[in-house]
Amino acid sequence: MQNKDNSKKLARRAIKRVRSDALENKSELEKIKITDSEPVTDIEIDSPDTGFKITDAPTVKEEAVTEVPVAEEPAVEETVTAVEEPVVEVPAAEEAPAEVPDEKAVPEEAPSAEEVPAEELAAEETPDAVPAEEIPAEADNAPAEAEEVPAEIPAPESAEDPDELGKVKVGPMLKTGAMLLAVCAIVTLVLAMVNFLTKDMAAANKQKDTDIAIKELFPTCTASTEEETVHGAPINGVYKVMEKDTHIGYAVGVIASGFGGDIEMLVGIGHGGVVNGVKIISMSETPNVGSRVNDSEYLSGYKGLSGELVIGQDVDAISGATVSSKAVLAGVNAVLALDLKVEGVATEDSSSEAVSTDEVTIDVSTPIPPDEGLETVPVTGETPSLGFDTLYRDETIPPIPERDETSIIEIVTQPDAETTVPTETDAPSGDSGAATDEPVSSDTAPVSDAEAPAA
């Protein structure tokens, strides 16, 4: 009994499908009626017409054969529906997969696309087709007519298929594509607007973070500007750090790849190219393990180092966090490899400041580290007692205790620029260095020109 119930259900479902299909799809109705003229009751009937059609769609025939017996059971009990059921099953199985999906996608276009081929094909191939066209309007959803469908249906449909595929599919694809495009366009527009509104704030936040980090590396820093010079990865921005008008070092952003991702850090380079400090801005190392490289105690171990650092010699690795330690080291090494020269070097004494390079002479307010190789230094600034003697920068020269603020020649150096910019010049006493070709300023120019040969 259960089996019968099931098959009844199946049959009813099939009827429903056919009815709805018929309502939706005019052309299907036509097909149904095409066969109307032929009283076909058995699916397996081989009418002269079906011969070639079945070869066109062999699978269709199989389906029909397999499904009929299932549906036939209830036929015994319920006479009215039973008659319909076995037959109804077939068109549902055949037509639903082929046509229904397309239909739903573009309801407006489908009928027109399908009607034409249906008529043409019918006219060409089957003589029955002529009456078929006339009938459709009469019966809209008559399941009784669906009874006779089986043998005939495969023919026009399989012949139609290629045409349908070509004609129907383009429409919905364009439509859905346009829809997707619209969705993407709107979302993009919204994103662009939000980006426009927030980008300044986001950039300001990032700048603030960097500023804070630089301030920690160089507590005396008053201003920092990002250098335009482009460095490739892993260098992530070079900042020139100034204390008032004095160049006191560089802060270099660098990204090293650690154990759990990138470690973004800022390395301070002070006078003489030594590490002034290392600050980790962001990282995703394992908490409590790799993250221990962020201990200020550990990072302070980098202070004062220069050259190519080797782990275990210059700095230790943290046990358990070797990868993270090496990443930090690699980052610092990458910065040191830039070989940044902090040109601005100053001594506390006002007499013996100056570094001789090819281009410029500078003095800044901090002492030159001992390892800074300084040889002959032309005198700049005002040192009346020394005249134009060449100074040997030496620890032995006693510093002059009092600093005469007005006497310091302030020269800011760009790495390759040859400009010398005096900021505070004591005109009468200030002498520009012999090595300096350019006049220090308009005030001192005549002096230096006149006296250079003497030196």
Partner 1 sequence: MNGKKILSQFKEGLLTNNPVFVQLLGMCSALAITTTVINALGMGLSVTAVLICSNVIISLLRKIIPKQIRIASYIVIISGFVTVVEMLLKAFAPAISKSLGLFIPLIVVNCIILARAEAYASRHSVLPSAIDGLAMGVGYTVAVVVLAFVRELFGSGTILGITVLGDWYKPVGMLINPAGAFITLGCIIAAVQKFLMKKQDRDFKKEGNEGKVNG
Contact residue for partner 1 among 6, 20, 176, 357 (CB under 8 A) = 176
Rg over alpha carbons for the chain, rounded to the nearest Å, is 46
Q: Which of residues 179 and 417 has its CB atom nearest to partner 1 in the complex?
A: 179
Start-to-end C-alpha separation, the chain:
124
Contact residue for partner 1 among 55, 205, 225, 376 (CB under 8 A) = 205
What's the min distance (Å) between Cβ of 238 and partner 1? 22
What's the min distance (Å) between Cβ of 445 and partner 1? 50
Contact residue for partner 1 among 105, 317, 318, 447 (CB under 8 A) = 105
Please provide the DSSP assignment of 147-160 as one string: TT-TTTTHHHHHHH
CA distance 258 to 264: 9
Residues 6 or more apart whose CB falls under 8 angstroms from that of 380 comprise 353, 354, 361, 363, 409, 411, 430, 431, 432, 433, 436, 440
Q: Label residue 275 exposed, middle or buried (CB < 10 Å: 0-12, 13-18, 19+).
A: buried
Considering the rule CB under 8 A, would residue 286 count as an interface residue with partner 1? yes
DSSP-based three-state secondary structure for 403: coil
Considering the rule CB under 8 A, would residue 212 count as an interface residue with partner 1? no
Considering the rule CB under 8 A, would residue 194 count as an interface residue with partner 1? yes
- Size of residue set near partner 1 by CB under 8 A: 28
Considering the rule CB under 8 A, would residue 447 count as an interface residue with partner 1? no
Q: Contact at 8 Å (CB) between 237 and 250?
A: no
Considering the rule CB under 8 A, would residue 209 count as an interface residue with partner 1? yes
Considering the rule CB under 8 A, would residue 216 count as an interface residue with partner 1? no
Contact residue for partner 1 among 201, 233, 450, 454 (CB under 8 A) = 201
Considering the rule CB under 8 A, would residue 198 count as an interface residue with partner 1? yes
For the segment 302-361, give every residue that binds partner 1 (CB under 8 A): none
Nearest to 13 by CA among 63, 84, 102: 84
CA distance 101 to 89: 18
Considering the rule CB under 8 A, would residue 206 count as an interface residue with partner 1? yes
Which residues contribute to the site for partner 1 (CB under 8 A)?
105, 172, 175-176, 179-180, 183-184, 187-188, 190-191, 194-195, 198-199, 201-202, 205-206, 209, 261, 282, 284, 286-289
